[in-house]
Amino acid sequence: MPHTDARVDAYLEAAADFAQPLLRDWRARVHRRCPGAEETIKWGFPHFVYQGKILSSMAAFKAHCSIGFWHGEAVSGSSERREGMGELGKLRSAADLPPAAELDAMLDRARALIEAGVKPARQQRTAAKRPPPPLPADLAQALAANEQAAAFFQSLPPSHQREYTEWLDEAKREETRAKRLAQTLEWLSEGKSRNWKYKNC
């Protein structure tokens, strides 16, 4: 029997419709390839733990989802920097995934690395850091009128700035964007990054 966690069930139920089949399939695949894996929630999203070590993770966002491995490119076999969190990039449908056999091979490598006691390599990336994201006009205008929010936004690393700009740009309706812009200003004024809620999870 798979070692499941009711919190992961709840997470999947709350995920966007497009993300649910992707993440449910990944969950089932992990348990097939690594029957000893256990589920938990870390940093606000599901993780699969094997022999006390993180095997893989998955997360759902508004317009995409992601799958990652604790051992990173040692599992994926690629040092290519993909857009989004995780080694497989931004996933919007099953068509964005590698072939099933390749996914199985990745999970087998992840399990074998843990069994061998290999620690994840946390090397500095030699590639240049991505520059700050272009500032959307409405956010720029709002920041110009809010000195405190603007100062905190400028103090954020580019990746955290990008989390805010992408969140705004993912809004499909003007009303949603306006609400997100107001929320952005509120959080920035309080010195909070976009994903501040998950920092202590």
Average pLDDT over residues 18-38: 94
Residue 139 exposed, middle or buried by CB count within 10 Å (0-12, 13-18, 19+): buried
Q: Phi-psi category of 79—alpha, beta or left, where left has phi over 0 and alpha has psi -120 to 50?
A: alpha
* Per-chain mean pLDDT for the chain: 87
CA dist., res. 113 & res. 107, Å (int): 10
Residue 20 exposed, middle or buried by CB count within 10 Å (0-12, 13-18, 19+): middle
Residue 53: per-residue pLDDT: 93
- pLDDT tier for residue 109 given thresholds of 50, 70 and 90: very high
Name the percent of the chain lying above pLDDT 70. Answer: 89
CA dist., res. 101 & res. 177, Å (int): 40
Average pLDDT over residues 86-110: 90
Question: Among residues 64, 141, 54, 121, which one has the least CA distance to residue 95?
Answer: 64
Residue-wise pLDDT for 135-152, tens only, equals 889 999 999 999 999 999
Residue 138: per-residue pLDDT: 93
Predicted TM-score (pTM) of this structure: 0.59
- The domain locations on the chain are 6-115, 137-198
Dihedral sign for Cα 59, 74, 110, 18, please. Answer: positive
Q: Which tokens go with 32?
A: 């097939």
Classify residue 94 by its DSSP letter. Answer: G
Asked if residue 82 has pLDDT above 80, the reply is: no
**Fold classified for 6-115:** Aspartate Aminotransferase, domain 1 (3.90.1150)
CA dist., res. 42 & res. 84, Å (int): 18
Residue-wise pLDDT for 52-77, tens only, equals 999 999 999 989 999 989 888 888 77
Residue 198: per-residue pLDDT: 65
